[in-house]
Amino acid sequence: MSELVVGLEVPSRGSRLRAACGDFIRRRPLGAIGAAVILLMFAAALTAPLISPYDPVQVHFAAMLAPPSAEHWLGTDSFGRDVLSRLIYGSQTALIVGFGASLLGATIGALIGVASAYFGGRIDLLLQRFMDVLLSFPLIILALALVAILGNSIPNLIVAIMIPMVPRCALVIRSSALSIREMPYVDAARAAGFTHSRIILRHMLPNVMATYLVMLTAFLGQAILLEASLSFLGLGVQEPLPAWGLMLRGAAVEFAETAPWMAIFPGVAISLAVFAFNLFGDSLRDALDPRLRTQ
């Protein structure tokens, strides 16, 4: 058999990945733009200490509410802190909370969804009822209540944002796992006497990967938005930590007329980040699974 392969060029993993990326850029330019913005955001977050012109928490009362200038490109806030530096550092907060919450939420949701579909029967019914209950709370209300319970450190914020996402992911993953459960290879695995956890983790989970990735990217933008909303309400990230939603709180609205840069730029940063994640997520969905083109 092996002679048959000789002469055929077997592409290495790396070059295959490169080809896939090139294909993605050519066929989905909007998604590629989104990906570029996301990469830029990562670069900003990783190199924040190097590229930000000022210390994001350093108070300068001499430079309070300074308009954008050569010194402070995006102006300063009511404490004289450089807005651009705070935006750059704020991308760290947004990415940590965004990725933390959506990874956890989508993963736990996927596990519950797959388990629910695999076991079926009473377990499925119970889990689904419980998910229905969680789904009845508006996202922001549930997150708010959870933050009030847990207190507002960054890990707690991640948990509070993650939990409302679990039932939303479980619902979608369950429905695609239901069809996989009927596949012959799952029957075969069962006949071979594999444990439940092995069948779920090794045979079913990899096959809902496409759906999982789509949910994950959709959650990313939502998590960043939710974090910004909670921080804006004063229930998320706390001063002096730089976070985009927090930058819009209080003084930004109070001084909106005299210092509009304080109110405008953080909002642009949030919108741009979420926009990029949504753009990328949409294209990824279309590329991975055309059946999921529901929204």
Partner 1 sequence: MGAYLIKRFFLMFPTLLGVALVTFLLIRVIPGDVVELRYSGDRGSVSQEVIDKERARVGLDQPVWKQLATWLVGLAKLDFGTSMWTGAPIWEEIELRFALSLQVAVMATVIAVLLALPLGVLAALKQDTWVDYVIRIFSIAGLAVPSFWLGIVFILVLLVFFQWLPPMVYTPFWQNPWENMAQLIWPALAVGYRYSAVSTRMTRSAMLEVLREDYIRTAKAKGLWQSLVLRRHALKNAMLPVMTVVGVEFAFLIGGLVVTEQVFNLNGLGLLFVQAVAHRDYTLLQALVMLVAGIFIFMNFLLDVAFAWLDPRVRYA
**Contact call for residue 208 and partner 1 (CB under 8 A):** no
- Comparing C-alpha atoms, which of 62, 34, 65 is closest to residue 257? 65
**Contact call for residue 278 and partner 1 (CB under 8 A):** yes
Output the smallest distance, CB 208 to partner 1, in A. Answer: 21
Compare residues 90 and 221 and give the one whose CB is closer to partner 1: 221
Q: Which residue has the tokens 């990326």?
A: 21
**Contact call for residue 275 and partner 1 (CB under 8 A):** yes
Q: Which residue has the tokens 């619902």?
A: 171
Amino acid at 79: F
Scanning the chain, the segments in alpha helix (DSSP H) are: 2-5, 13-27, 29-46, 48-51, 83-119, 121-135, 139-150, 154-162, 165-181, 184-191, 196-198, 209-232, 244-247, 251-254, 260-288
- Which of 137, 154, 239, 289 binds partner 1 (CB under 8 A)? It is 137
Structure tokens given for 276: 């990029």
Provide the 8-state DSSP code for 293.
T
**Contact call for residue 287 and partner 1 (CB under 8 A):** no
Convert residues 148-177 into a mask of x (bound to partner 1 by CB under 8 A) and - (unbound): xx-x--------------------------
The span of 68-76, 79-87, 115-123, 258-266 binding partner 1 (CB under 8 A) equals 258-266
Compare residues 180 and 214 and give the one whose CB is closer to partner 1: 214
- Which of 25, 40, 96, 134 binds partner 1 (CB under 8 A)? It is 134
3-state secondary structure of 63: helix
Do residues 132 and 281 lie in contact, with contact meaning Cβ atoms separated by under 8 Å? no
Provide the 8-state DSSP code for 205.
G
- Which of 267, 287, 288, 289 binds partner 1 (CB under 8 A)? It is 267
User: What's the full length of the chain, in residues?
Assistant: 295
- Please report, as residue ranges, which positions from 40 to 79 form the binding site for partner 1 (by CB under 8 A): none
Do residues 177 and 117 lie in contact, with contact meaning Cβ atoms separated by under 8 Å? yes
Residue ranges in contact with partner 1 by CB under 8 A: 30, 129-130, 132-134, 136-141, 144-146, 148-149, 151, 221, 225, 228-229, 232-233, 245, 248, 252-253, 256-257, 260, 263-264, 266-267, 270-275, 278-279, 282, 293-295
